[in-house]
Amino acid sequence: MVSTGLAAAGYKYVNIDDCWAELNRDSQGNFVPKADTFPSGIKALADYVHSKGLKLGIYSDAGIQTCSKKMPGSLGHEEQDAKTFASWGIDYLKYDNCNNQGINPKERYPIMTKALQNSGRPIFYSLCEWGQDDPATWAHEVGNSWRTTGDISDNWDSMTSRADENDVWAAYAKPGGWNDPDMLEVGNGGMTTEEYRSHFSIWALAKAPLLVGCDVRSMSKETYEILSNKEVIAVNQDSLGVQGKKVNKNGDLEVWAGPLAHNKVAVILWNRGSSTSQITAYWSNIGLNSTTVVKARDLWAHRTHIYVKGRISATVGSHACKMYVLTPR
């Protein structure tokens, strides 16, 4: 994370997923880190990660067992587990939804909210409830992000469907609580560079958590260039915190847009079709007055177009996109 430059680009959490603990708790009912994977324990790992200027995330489940069934869940152990995580120096909790005894997630997830608040440590709370009970409508009082979709796969159809499912809930995201259409597949090999660029652009515009899902030790130059594009990341991290959304659709040709701080607007021209096409975003679709003159910054070409008025057009390849920030003059 540090040596590749990803940490410098703003990525700060290193998150451990399922299967980090032994199958059984200890005699006091505490989690036991898996001895052969974490021989020094989790606190030593957290201390090391913190020494690099990064934060450590961990995984548990709002059920009696995790999704792999390889380790115990936290249902009924919320206070104890939150205190354990805090004592280890954990900064982020992904909280899954398997083996949940049929109890409503609106009952299970807030118990961990209180436990984390009582733990004495600020811990980012990521609800992984798969969007089953429309968490966008209630989870802002419960956690910091919530999955709006099922798990993503490393292919075009999965990625585009997650984008569309997440888009439905755009109005519910705001600072402190974010819609999460699942992690980034960029660099895992199942899509083209252009498809991955589209994936990263839409996730950034949607203010989704940007969770790298590839092996950063062996990522290609193209993968690194996508994941570390500071201009696209800046859209994702914009202080206004408004989720951009799909504002126009003409067959497979789409315009996605959203407001940014300082009266700027982010725009994506996305070609989901099989042939190169011209796509136009009209000011009337993206919240600008028709007479407004803007400076248009192309975030992937790193070029500025001065004085655009009324609309912006581009020729866009199959499954590719163009992404701009428009600054009114």
Distance CA 147, CA 145 (A): 7
Token pair for residue 271?
A: 């070609």
Three-class SS of 122-151? CCEEEECCCCCCCHHHCHHHCCCEEECCCC
Instruction: Indicate the residue type of 302.
Output: H
With CA atoms as reference, report the closest residue to 259 among 325, 179, 203: 325
With CA atoms as reference, report the closest residue to 154 among 103, 214, 208, 92: 214
- Helix (H), strand (E) at residue 315: strand 311-316
Among residues 61, 81, 91, 96, the one annotated as catalytic is 96
Token pair for residue 310?
A: 């009324």
151 is catalytic: yes
Distance CA 148, CA 165 (A): 7
Distance CA 148, CA 166 (A): 6
Ranges of beta strands (E only) in the chain are: 13-15, 55-61, 92-96, 124-127, 145-147, 178-180, 245-250, 253-259, 265-271, 277-282, 293-298, 303-309, 311-316, 321-328
154 is catalytic: no
- Catalytic residue numbers read 96, 151
